[in-house]
Amino acid sequence: MYISRRSATFRNVSISTVNGGITLIILLIAPLGLAAVIINTLLVAVSTYIVASAADRVILWLELEQNAELTSSGEGEYRSRKKSYLQRWWR
């Protein structure tokens, strides 16, 4: 990835905080109990963080696969010995 793990965690926390804040504002307008508003806000914030972290892991996995395919396609001393998962499955 192009950003560090700490930066990605900070980004995911800030995204989930903003989503939680927006949800809190929307739910405070609705005629719900305070416990329901707090629980829904926390659930939105936590689920947003989990989804953003999972998306980061998928992107990292895809970048590793792409690098493995690009480095193993050439011949000679620069050829990677490790095959990607796609190459193992395909042959």
How many whole angstroms separate alpha carbon 55 and alpha carbon 48?
11
CB 39 within 8 A of CB 80: no
The model's pLDDT over 21-57, given as tens digits with 9 standing for 90+, comes to: 998 888 888 888 888 888 988 999 999 999 998 888 8
Number of domains observed in the structure of the chain:
1
CB 87 within 8 A of CB 73: no
Token pair of 80, please?
Answer: 């990677």
Q: Which domain holds residue 15?
A: 5-90
pLDDT at 68: 59
